[in-house]
Structure formats: C-alpha cells, structure tokens
C-alpha cells in the first residue's frame, strides 16, 4: 500500500486537539462548561480532547450545534485521523501480500474506488 503523504511527516491530528485548540481555548470555555453545554458527561469531552476517545455520530451532532459547524466535519476529521493512524502503523510487508481481486465494473457509485 502506497501512502499519499508528502515527504515531510505530519502526525495525524485527533479531532480533540482541534476541538481544544481551535474552539474551546479561543472561546475561553472550560471542558466542564462545554460538556454541560452539549449535555454529555465531562469525561467524554476530556477523553476526546486527550485523543483517547473517538468522535461518535452523536457527539458530532452535539459539537456541530454548539459550535456552528457541521456534524460531517467532525466525522471527517475522525475518519481522516483513524485512516492516517492505520497507514502509519501498517506493516508494509504484510500489506504487500494482499492482492487485488477482480471487481465488477458495474458497482454503483465509487464503491470500486
């Protein structure tokens, strides 16, 4: 599997870092106050910010409503983080063993890649 990253390595960024640095800190909102605002337990926000918990669909909706963003943005950030982490951690020798299978040309949409 070839990585599409540039030569300069930039580690994957967890959505929690973006939540903390781009939203909560500039707005001067504590994690506890924000957790009350979006009606979730404080440990959920804390674990997301610490990169120990993924942004779920439910949390993405709550973040979007409170911060004026889209739920899709938060899920895309999470997806991108997980994919980049997987690519970073993948064993190239094991991946080289995987051979493509024949895929029908009539798959709907972009399912074939």
CA distances to 8, 11, 54, 74 from 59, rounded to whole Å, are: 32, 24, 9, 9
pLDDT for 41:
98
Query: Of 105 and 3, which is predicted with more confidence?
Result: 105
CA distances to 12, 55, 60, 76 from 83, rounded to whole Å, are: 9, 14, 18, 10
The residue ranges of every structural domain in the chain are 15-89
pLDDT digits (tens, 9 = 90+) for 35-94: 999 999 999 999 999 999 999 999 999 999 999 999 999 999 999 999 999 988 888 888
pLDDT band at 3 (very low <50, low <70, confident <90, very high): low
Separation between Cα atoms, residue 47 and residue 22, nearest integer Å: 17
Query: Of 7 and 10, which is predicted with more confidence?
Result: 10
Q: What is the rounded radius of gyration, in angstroms, for the C-alpha atoms of the chain?
A: 18
**Domain 15-89 = CATH 3.40.50.300:** no
């Amino acid at each position: 599997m070839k990585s599409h990253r540039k030569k300069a390595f930039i580690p994957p960024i967890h959505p929690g870092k973006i939540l903390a640095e781009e939203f909560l800190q500039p707005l001067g909102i504590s994690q506890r106050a924000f957790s009350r605002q979006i009606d979730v337990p404080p440990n959920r926000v804390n674990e997301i910010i610490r990169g120990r918990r993924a942004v779920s669909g439910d949390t993405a909706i709550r973040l979007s409503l409170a911060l004026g963003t889209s739920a899709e943005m938060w899920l895309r950030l999470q997806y991108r983080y997980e994919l980049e982490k997987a690519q970073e951690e993948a064993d190239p020798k094991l991946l080289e063993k995987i051979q493509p299978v024949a895929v029908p040309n009539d798959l709907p949409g972009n399912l074939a890649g």
